[in-house]
Amino acid sequence: MMTLYMTPQHRAHMRHQLSQGDRIARNVAFNSDVHVPVDVRDEQDAFVVIATLPGLIADDLSIEIIENTLDIHGEFKTAEEDETYLRRERPVGHFHRRLRFASNLVAEKAEAALKDGILTLRIPKVEEQRPKTIKVNTK
């Protein structure tokens, strides 16, 4: 495992580089051998999370939602443990992604699909935290 030390200047630069999607879903990756990239969309009534997980099946994943936090755990396994490689770039090992959202989530109505190595989660927002549209009468 590699440890990365960041200077305060580098940390400030990285913070400046955050896109709006990253500001909506503050994410933490820890105790991971593998980095799993995710995209997050903020729709009016739900958040949609898309993660790239090549080669995994549903049994390799664990997904948990508590209040406003999504945890995705899993492991990329390999059958060739005793092989010697000249170069090894495919992901191998445990991963854990934690995403914190600005709104509480409705875990009971969350939907997940895994197809062709792409995990798509649709997680509804709590009703009272959804944006309300108020129509203005001109009478």
What are the start-end ranges of the E strands in 6-110? Answer: 25-29, 38-42, 46-52, 61-66, 69-76, 93-101
Pairwise CA distance, residues 78 & 55, whole Å: 10
Structure tokens at 129: 């935290």
- For the segment 13-40, what is each residue's pLDDT rounded down to a tens digit? 555 554 444 444 444 445 678 889 999 9
Least confident of 5-9, 72-76, 77-81: 5-9
Q: 128: helix, coil or strand?
A: helix
Q: What is the DSSP letter of 107?
A: G
Q: What is the mean pLDDT of residues 59-88?
A: 87
- Closest of 132, 17, 114, 24 to residue 62, by C-alpha: 114
Domains in the chain, ordered, with CATH? 26-77+91-128 (2.60.40.790)
pLDDT at residue 88 is higher than 70: yes
